[in-house]
Amino acid sequence: MNIKDLKSNEIMPGFLGRIIHGSDFTWVYWEIDKGSSLSEHNHVNEQLMHVIEGEFEFTIDGKKNLCKKGSTFLIPSNVPHSGRAISDCILMDVFSPRRDDLG
């Protein structure tokens, strides 16, 4: 399987996601436009976020983090978080349990 062969969907403005669901997890490859933002939210799913390219300002439980290529963060279940693309970005997320709300 090649990432570029997966269907991409604009999940929210500026966030194109390519998604794979396993039985207990969801994996997302994000292509995010510079300046796009993710409002503060939380979910029951644990989330592992990894920056493949670009810079992304990620706020976890009120603490801002400038995430650059190679940065990885674990967001525990139900912890509020938000973010903003400082540049065009490629991120990878893994959620557990799976997130059927993402498509």
Number of H helices, E strands in the chain: 0, 10
Inter-CA distances, 95 with 4, 67, 72, 101, Å: 20, 19, 14, 12
Q: What is the pLDDT of residues 32-65, one digit of tens each?
A: 999 999 999 999 999 999 999 999 999 999 999 9
Measured distance CA(19)–CA(30) in Å, rounded: 9
Tokens 């794979």: give the residue.
20
Please give the Cα distance from 17 to 37 (Å, whole number): 14
The pTM of this model reads 0.93
Residue 88, pLDDT above cutoff 90: yes
Once rounded to an integer, what is the mean pLDDT over residues 71-96? 98
DSSP H helices, 1-103, are none
Mean pLDDT, all residues of the chain: 96
* Mean pLDDT score, 68-85: 97
Domains and their CATH numbers in the chain? 9-93 (2.60.120.10)
